[in-house]
Amino acid sequence: MRQDLKGQLILTIMFIVLGMLGLSLFLSHALIGRKFRDYIVEEEQRKTRNIAASLSQYYTALTRRWDTDLVHAVGMYALYDGYIIKVFDINGLPVWDAENHDMTLCYQIMAEISERMQKRYPQIDGKFISHDYGITQDGRKVGSVTIRYFGPYFLSESDFRFLDALNGSLLAAGLVSLAFAIAAGVFLARRIARPISAVIHITRQISQGNYAIRFEGRTRTQELDELVSAVNHLAGSLSEQENLRKRLTSDIAHELRTPLTTMGAHLEAMIEGVWQPTPERLQSCHEEAVRLGKLVADLERLEREESGSLKLNKTPVDLLELLRSVSANLEIDMRGKGLRCTVEGEPAGVFADRDRISQVAVNLLSNALKYTPENGHIRLSVKDSVKTAAFTVSNSGAGIPADELPFIFERFYRADKSRNRKTGGAGIGLAIVKSIVMAHGGTVNVESRPGQGSSFTVTLPK
């Protein structure tokens, strides 16, 4: 049978507590019972010895007489204690006999003791037994006493009261701790089960597409807190993915629609003879087609990088040498725009995928080329340190507004859409940079001051 977590916890705790309680009750009962019996047996022996000893005081050797009044007093005292005595003198003649003195009382007391003991301790199968003890005075035997009592041992009424009180308090202590244990179990179970139920509810909601749901508050249990924050995180990243997916689709549609419409309209006009198919017009259509081809290629590359399906082909790479060759490839473009480009720093070796890191440098440098105004300056620098190596691509120019900085690494993000459409970017270059750098376990940071320019720093582990 399947039970809920709360029920299981409460049942388990109750089971453990009941077991412990039963065990401790049993042990204490058995231990105390045995010790108490030992004590009672000892007490009996002490009493019988006492009776014989005190009787010896009431014999006067000189007159050879017993003080029968005092012997009677000892006898009655012993009788009320459950000891029926018979005192004999040295010749075996009776001096005092409890049964002779008051037979009814003797039988009444014996019956009471037997009944009590049979009722409470039927297993010991006790009965009245007699023992003879010598009565001595100054080492000389002066008589004897026969003592009858319930054997092997018996408990007086006050002994029974004491035992009952002891058992009662043990039971009470047990019940109180059981109540505490149940309360603690319920409390603990609630504390654990409640957040778990909440997490179940939240994950169900997430599976139905409600990504905005979050678990609020803390649980006061470390593992549950971790579970809850993992679920919250899951909801967060699913919602991000969902947004990204939606945006990606609409962005791609948007990116493709404008050039396709323009191209379609131009071609239609030329087919219908409205426009002459001049080389310039065909050239313009061709440029759009090339741009679309580039966009699709970029998308493909980004998809490959982000899915992580391609393995990194790592080899030792010198960042300084890599930057020099990348900047040399773009030199003609830079010169065309009147840009000054400097490469500085020390050789810095990393273990990386050369082609991919080249791609990173090309993307950053092409951006610098695009966004640096004419006659501006591009600076490439390399920095080597113990565990990492870094390179920075800085350029002069308008810079990126601070509120745009957090988004520029996102796909299709363009700081200034109208300006950038002219520069030809689709907002994918930096997303590719980020994917490649992250695949290498590195980081990419951007700093920018409006009016002064921007600088992108890529740090890679060695």
Which one of 415, 436, 444, 458 is in contact with ligand ADP (CB under 6 A)?
415
Rounded distance between C-alpha atoms, residue 445 and residue 392, angstroms = 9
The whole-angstrom separation of Cα 365 and Cα 357 is 12
Task: Return the residue matching tokens 């990116």.
Answer: 255
59 near ligand ADP (CB under 6 A): no
- The tokens of 10 are what? 């409460």
Site pattern 417..456 for ligand ADP (x: CB under 6 A) = ---x----xxxxxxx----------------------x--
Angle between helices 429-439 and 354-371 (to 10 degrees): 150
**Would you give the binding string for ligand ADP spanning residues 350-389, x where CB under 6 A is met?**
-----------------xx--x------------------
Given the complex with ligand ADP, which of 320 and 431 has the nearer CB atom? 431
Q: Which of 119-127, 146-154, 242-250, 406-414 is the region at the interface with ligand ADP (rule: CB under 6 A)? A: 406-414
Q: Which of 71, 87, 206, 408 binds ligand ADP (CB under 6 A)?
A: 408
Query: How many residues belong to the chain?
Result: 462
Tell me which stretch binds ligand ADP (CB under 6 A): 52-60, 178-186, 338-346, 408-416: 408-416
Cβ nearer to ligand ADP, comparing 224 with 369: 369
- Residue 413 within binding range of ligand ADP, rule CB under 6 A: yes
User: Do the beta carbons of residue 430 and residue 408 sit within 8 Å?
Assistant: yes
Encode 291-326: b = buried (16+ Cβ within 10 Å), e = exposed: ebeebeebbebbeebbeeeeebeeeebbbbebbeeb
Cα 456 off chain centre by: 41
Nearest-approach distance from CB 372 to ligand ADP, in angstroms: 7
Q: How many residues in the shown chain lie near ligand ADP by CB under 6 A?
A: 20
Alpha carbon distance 350, 389 (integer Å): 7
Q: Which is nearer to ligand ADP, 185 or 427 (CB)?
A: 427
Compute the least distance from the CB of residue 449 to ligand ADP, in Å: 11
State which residue, 119 or 417, has the beta carbon closest to ligand ADP: 417
Half-sphere exposure of 365 (CA within 13 A, CB side): 27
Per-residue three-class SS string for 237-264: HHHHHHHHHHHHHHHHHHHHHHHHHHHH
Closer residue to ligand ADP (CB): 6 or 411: 411
Amino acid at 277: P
**b/e string for 452-461 if b means 16 or more Cβ within 10 A?**
ebbbbbbbbe
Which window, 7-15, 77-85, 143-151, 414-422, contacts ligand ADP (CB under 6 A)? 414-422
CB of 239 to ligand ADP, least distance (A): 23
The pairing of strands 377-384 and 388-395 is antiparallel
User: Coil, helix or strand for 194?
Assistant: helix
List of residues 6+ apart from 245 with CB closer than 8 A? none
Nearer to ligand ADP, 174 or 427 (CB): 427
When binding is defined by CB under 6 A, the residue of 72, 247, 379, 414 that contacts ligand ADP is 414
Place of tokens 């010169």: 335
Nearest approach, Cβ of 379 to ligand ADP (angstroms)?
A: 12
The CB-of-423 to ligand ADP minimum distance in angstroms stands at: 7
Site for ligand ADP in 232-251 (CB under 6 A): none
Distances in whole angstroms, Cα of residue 27 to Cα of each of 30, 121, 162:
5, 18, 18
Least Å distance, CB 360 to ligand ADP, is 11
List residues near ligand ADP by CB under 6 A: 367-368, 371, 395, 397, 400, 408, 413-416, 420, 425-431, 454
